[in-house]
Amino acid sequence: MNIHTRAVHAGDRKKSGAAIPVTTPIYTASSYIYEKIEQLDRVFGREEAGDSYARYENPTNRGLEELLVALENGHTALACASGMAAVQFALQAALMDRRRRIVAANALYGATIRMLQSVFEPLGVETAFVDICDLAAVEKAIAAGKPGCVLMETISNPLLRVGQIDRIAAMAKAAGAALVVDNTFATPMMVRPLELGANLVVHSLTKYLAGHGDVLGGAIITDEAHGETVRALSRTAGPVLGSFESYLTMRGIKTFPLRFERQCTNACRIAQWLAAQPRVERVFFPADPGHPDSAVIHRLFPEKMFGAMVSFEIRGAGREEIFTLMDRLKIVVRATSLGDVHSMMLYPAMSSHRDLAPRQRERMGIRDNLLRLSVGIEAPEDILSDLEQALD
Ligand SMILES: *Cc1c(COP(=O)(O)O)cnc(C)c1O
């Protein structure tokens, strides 16, 4: 079934009493009872499917989780309270029965790098960082590090590099490691990492999937082998999403394919326009034929979809010039997020990569004149004229 169809049908219309609600209601109950206590006993014992306590299962979350499984073509999903909670629990599940070592892409969401260094490392889980787009380097890092888990993003932030998920999945598998892929930037419309051999996919639902700037949430979608591990971890540790957020996310996802198509088309046009501006030194966008991962992009991405993130450098600009430019924006929102219906501009050195040492940022290629634009669904002419007056 096409993803547009799955987005509006999967997970919904579960029978509740005699009637079937057209959309999934918000279930707020923290616990559930049955006519006979014996049945609750069987539910607690997991001999019978059913609800008992909201940390274990919640019907609203179940609807969303079914929808996420359908979108990513996975086996099991867990809706989490944030994208970072999803990253943490996916890594924990991946390392459960494996060596406590991680090989991770060196270009990752800022908080993910911080989590590896300040949450996992103190627990004795060491991470070796590698250029995930250099397959030979990845192979070497896996051989040297003997990791239990490899972690990467489908499209890296903010320089939009694209690694070969299928090849890396094969390498990880051969070494007995699980592959965890953060698919937030690409979304299941562009890439479904589980189909390419990844074991666990994570999302910040806060971004494209919920899409309206009103939800904080995350999700893990797994292959068959890791489903029960993730759910068991969650039953004990409880990183679960609240049912109101779950409802909003399901509502958002119904239009996600439409929104994302529009965002991708807008982004192509804006990237092209930016590349022609004299004040713009360099544009980072996957459609660029000169993109270092161009061959991989054409192999793994669907035709004419390159994502909706555009990064660019302003010639000779430092923090001051960047702030002036950002203050001039009237339509594009200067906010620390992405994937919403409205366009958003972020200054990585100030926000997403703020806590990294300047030298580490420099090594990652994130210069002080770099801006990241998350393209929204507005009319492209309006976004362009806003950028034009701000760049003036
Ligand atoms: C935003 C984001 C996260 C973290 O998600 P939260 O919902 O903010 O916790 C993780 N990975 C990527 C790629 C993101 O963009």
Start-to-end CA span in the chain (Å):
47
What pLDDT was estimated at residue 170?
98
Q: What's the predicted TM-score (pTM) here?
A: 0.96
Q: Per residue, what are the HEC states of 318-336?
A: CHHHHHHHHHHCCCCECCC
82 lines ligand 1 (CB under 6 A): yes
Residue position matching structure tokens 């993910």:
112
What pLDDT was estimated at residue 110?
87
What is the distance between the alpha carbons of residues 91 and 109, in angstroms, rounded to a whole number?
Answer: 15
Return phi, psi of residue 353, to 5°.
-115, 25
Interacting residues of 21 by C-beta distance below 8 A, sequence separation 6+: 12, 13, 14
Cα dihedral sign, 87-92-94-100: positive
Domain ranges of the chain: 63-253, 256-391
Please give the number of the atom of ligand 1 that sits closest to the Cα of 185: 13
**What positions carry a catalytic annotation?**
55, 109, 182, 207
State yes or no: cis peptide before 158, omega within 30 of 0: yes
What pLDDT was estimated at residue 17?
81
What pLDDT was estimated at residue 167?
98
Please give the number of the atom of ligand 1 that sits closest to the Cα of 84: 9
Q: Smallest Cα–Cα separation from 155: which of 143, 164, 147, 146?
A: 164
Tens digits of residue pLDDT in 33-89 = 999 999 999 988 889 999 999 999 999 999 999 999 999 999 999 999 999 999 999
What pLDDT was estimated at residue 15?
86
Residue position matching structure tokens 């189909």:
195
What pLDDT was estimated at residue 145?
93
CATH class as words, domain 256-391: alpha beta
What pLDDT was estimated at residue 358?
82
Tens digits of residue pLDDT in 172-186 = 999 999 999 999 999
Per-residue pLDDT of the chain (392 residues; tens, 9 = 90+): 999 999 999 999 988 888 899 999 999 999 999 999 999 999 888 899 999 999 999 999 999 999 999 999 999 999 999 999 999 999 999 999 999 999 999 989 989 999 999 999 999 999 999 999 999 999 999 999 999 999 999 999 899 999 999 999 999 999 999 999 999 999 999 999 999 999 999 999 999 999 999 999 999 999 999 999 999 999 999 999 999 999 999 999 999 999 999 999 999 999 999 999 999 999 999 999 999 999 999 999 999 999 999 999 999 999 999 999 999 999 999 998 999 999 999 999 888 788 778 888 888 889 999 999 999 999 999 999 999 999 98
* Length of the chain in terms of residues written: 392
- In this structure, the residue with its CA closest to atom 4 of ligand 1 is 83
From 207, 208, 214, 352, mutation site for ligand 1 pocket: most ligand atoms within 8 A of C-beta = 207
- In this structure, the residue with its CA closest to atom 7 of ligand 1 is 83
Q: Which residues of 106-132 are buried (b: 16+ CB within 10 A; e: fewer)?
A: bbbbbbbbebbeeebeeeebebbbbeb
- In this structure, the residue with its CA closest to atom 15 of ligand 1 is 184
From 82, 89, 109, 180, mutation site for ligand 1 pocket: most ligand atoms within 8 A of C-beta = 109
What is the distance between the alpha carbons of residues 69 and 83, in angstroms, rounded to a whole number?
Answer: 16
101 lines ligand 1 (CB under 6 A): no
Whether 166 and 48 have beta carbons less than 8 Å apart is answered as: no
User: What is the fold, at CATH topology level, of the domain defined by 63-253?
Assistant: Aspartate Aminotransferase; domain 2 (3.40.640)
Residue position matching structure tokens 């990183």:
239
